[in-house]
């Protein structure tokens, strides 16, 4: 699938970093419409607590589509409490096969503090190598920066913040207004 066919790759940056017994998911606040910045303080990282089970999720792509996916993920987590991997796979299966969901243009990074996954509309549930993942237009910049910092003495939050700062300096669709959520298992 070409980038032009999947708008979810354009317009934000979300990063997930797992280090030292914690996972940090951070996202920028910029909302763009074409070449225009519409808002600079959006919250693209959310904490979900279905049935008392904490999960942090960040999204890139269409906001309405992402909220639809987050609601579906919450219902999957309620049906399979404490089983993020299973809920993620069930969401990805639905997303891939349901005619309504197939049209949704977003990607998710989710974590329960123990595991971290990227969920895509292609039916993928990906567990990143090197305990770092990123999505969105500045995702590759943030990913490269975070990977370079993983061997440092910095904790997960400091790595995520530095990586996002680098991405926001390079990607015009990413700003430095961050929402950062930390989760431990």
Query: Is residue 54 within 8 Å of 183, Cβ to Cβ?
Result: yes
3-state secondary structure of 70: helix
Q: How many domains does the chain have?
A: 1
Please write the tens of the pLDDT for every residue from 11-62. 789 999 999 999 999 999 998 888 888 899 999 999 998 777 899 999 998 8
Q: So which residues are the catalytic ones?
A: 12
Query: Is residue 156 within 8 Å of 143, Cβ to Cβ?
Result: no
Is residue 151 a part of any domain in this protein? yes
Is residue 1 a part of any domain in this protein? no
Query: Is residue 110 within 8 Å of 116, Cβ to Cβ?
Result: yes
Is residue 168 a part of any domain in this protein? yes
**Number of neighbours of residue 4 by Cβ within 10 angstroms:** 8
Is residue 162 a part of any domain in this protein? yes
Q: Provide CB contacts within 8 A for 182, sequence distance 6+.
A: 22, 23, 24, 56, 156, 157
Is residue 32 a part of any domain in this protein? yes
Rounding to the nearest 10 degrees, give the CA dihedral for residues 122, 123, 127, 129. Answer: -30
Is residue 155 a part of any domain in this protein? yes
Residues, the chain: 185
Is residue 2 a part of any domain in this protein? no
pLDDT at 40: 92
Query: Is residue 56 within 8 Å of 47, Cβ to Cβ?
Result: yes
Instruction: Provide the pLDDT confidence category of residue 2 given band limits of 50, 70 and 90.
Output: very low
Query: Is residue 122 within 8 Å of 95, Cβ to Cβ?
Result: no
Q: Helices (H), strands (E): how many in the chain?
A: 4, 11
Residue 116 lies in domain: 7-184
Please write the tens of the pLDDT for every residue from 89-148. 999 998 888 877 888 888 999 999 999 999 988 889 999 999 999 999 999 999 999 999
Nearest CA to 174 out of 47, 26, 66 is that of 26
pLDDT at 87: 95
Is residue 166 a part of any domain in this protein? yes
CATH of the domain at 126: 3.60.20.10
């Amino acid at each position: 699938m070409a980038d032009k066919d999947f708008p979810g790759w354009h317009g934000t940056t979300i990063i997930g970093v797992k280090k030292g017994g914690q996972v940090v998911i951070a996202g920028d606040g910029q909302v763009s419409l074409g070449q225009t910045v519409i808002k600079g303080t959006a919250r693209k990282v959310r904490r979900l607590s279905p049935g008392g089970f904490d999960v942090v999720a960040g999204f890139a792509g269409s906001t309405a589509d992402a909220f639809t996916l987050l609601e579906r993920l919450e219902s999957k987590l309620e049906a399979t409490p404490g089983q993020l991997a299973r809920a993620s796979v069930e969401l990805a299966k639905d997303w891939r096969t349901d005619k309504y969901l197939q049209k949704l243009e977003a990607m998710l990074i989710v974590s329960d503090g123990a595991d971290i996954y990227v969920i895509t509309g292609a039916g993928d549930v990906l567990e990143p190598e090197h305990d770092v993942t990123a999505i969105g237009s500045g995702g590759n910049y943030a990913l490269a920066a975070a990977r370079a910092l993983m061997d440092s003495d910095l904790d997960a939050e400091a790595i995520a913040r530095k990586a996002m700062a680098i991405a926001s300096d390079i990607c015009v669709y990413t700003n430095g207004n961050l929402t950062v959520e930390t989760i431990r298992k």
